[in-house]
Chains A and B, each alone.
Chain A
Amino acid sequence: MGDRPDISMTPDEITAFLATQHRVVVTALDGAAPVGTVATVRLDGNELEVVLRAGDEVAALLASDDRVCVIAEQFPTYYEIKAVCAHGRARFGAGAADPTFRIGLDDVTTFDFGKLPRAGTGSGKST
């Protein structure tokens, strides 16, 4: 990694960020190939509740292979760029009008550009 600073988020930072997010990209598998879509999200405790649109092909794909990645991201300005990618298995519930699943936050990759040094090594600026 060398000159690349650690810009990952702490568990508290992850939940604070996810509490502000309402849209995510959901990634499932069609055989061995990834497929994506846009969905609605809500943080519920230490899990995400994700709502897909009725008829979204990703819901059918997750029914046959429940491995999933859910990506939340913001980029109002460069140093406010943040993202959380949650990996796991989609657990579908019954009774919702639209396909709805839950995923935990125990396998995540994250970044927060606010943790980048503003000058010197790792800042992204020429020195």
Chain B
Amino acid sequence: MTAIGPDEDAFLQGSSRVFLLGTRTDGSPTGWPMVGLYPGGALEFSTYATSQKVKDFARSPAAACVVAPLDDERALVLRGSCTPVAGQHEPSTGGINPPSDVRVADGIAEGARARMQSGKRVVLRFAPESAAFVPGWAAEEPGDG
């Protein structure tokens, strides 16, 4: 495991396909495929304030992320903590333009922004404490080569 360096930083800026991982009430592992936004230093996720993941991370902030672009031979595994951000309803990057690797239908981004402004959505912030690359979505399968 290494701290986030320039390579990890560039990788995070180029992909928003993130699997956010946490624990359920019984302590077992769980996860959610999410759009993760990277304003630098942390990952941010917009979600409904009433969602299960908000309750789970309020109870236990222990978290991990797997950043896994579909077309990349690498994925980035992060360990850290994730907490709901009090009073923040929009990601720090703003809620208007989706990341370039997310194919969003017409009107969806505007609808999401309206729900952010209404307070129905909150921001979860993941603070990484360590990072490591692993073979990703487009890597050869085990046993190949």
Query: What is the interface of chain A, defined by CB distance below 8 A to chain B?
Result: 1, 4, 22-23, 25, 27-29, 32-38, 40, 51-54, 56, 67-69, 71, 73, 75-79, 83, 85, 87, 97-98, 109, 123-126
Asked if A27 meets B21 with Cβ closer than 8 Å, knowing A36-B31, A52-B142, A71-B33, the reply is yes
Q: Assess the A29–B29 pair: CB atoms within 8 A.
A: yes
**Please, which residues of chain B bring their CB within 8 A of the CB of A1?**
50
Asked if A87 meets B28 with Cβ closer than 8 Å, knowing A34-B23, A124-B111, A126-B111, the reply is yes
A123 to B20, CA, bound (A): 24
**Please, which residues of chain A bring their CB within 8 A of the CB of B9?**
none
Convert B87-111 into 0s and 1s, putting 1 for each residue whose CB lies closer than 8 angstroms to a CB of A: 0000000000000001111011011
B68 interface hit (Cβ, 8 Å): yes
Residue of B nearest to A77 (CB): B103
Instruction: Tell me the smallest distance from the CB of B87 to a CB of chain A, in Å.
Output: 22
Residue of B nearest to A72 (CB): B33
Interface residues on B, range: 35 or more
Q: Which parts of B1-58 form the interface with A (CB within 8 Å)?
A: 17, 19, 21-24, 27-33, 48, 50
Asked if A53 meets B135 with Cβ closer than 8 Å, knowing A25-B31, A27-B31, A68-B29, the reply is yes
Out of A22, A35, A40, name the residue touching B64 (CB < 8 Å): A35
Q: Assess the A75–B103 pair: CB atoms within 8 A.
A: yes
Asked if A85 meets B32 with Cβ closer than 8 Å, knowing A38-B66, A38-B75, the reply is yes
Residue of B nearest to A37 (CB): B134
A98 to B141, CA, bound (A): 11
**Please, which residues of chain B bring their CB within 8 A of the CB of A124?**
107-108, 111-112
Q: Given known contacts A33-B64, A71-B19, A87-B29, what 15 new A-B pairs fall within 8 Å (CB)? A: A27-B30, A29-B29, A34-B21, A34-B23, A34-B63, A34-B64, A36-B31, A36-B65, A69-B31, A75-B33, A87-B28, A124-B108, A124-B112, A126-B110, A126-B114
**Please, which residues of chain B bring their CB within 8 A of the CB of A83?**
33
Q: Assess the B30–A87 pair: CB atoms within 8 A.
A: yes
B145 interface hit (Cβ, 8 Å): no
A73 to B33, CA, bound (A): 7
Q: Assess the A53–B142 pair: CB atoms within 8 A.
A: yes
**Please, which residues of chain A bring their CB within 8 A of the CB of B114?**
126
A28 to B104, CA, bound (A): 31
**Please, which residues of chain A bring their CB within 8 A of the CB of B139?**
38
**Please, which residues of chain B bring their CB within 8 A of the CB of A34?**
21-23, 29-31, 62-64
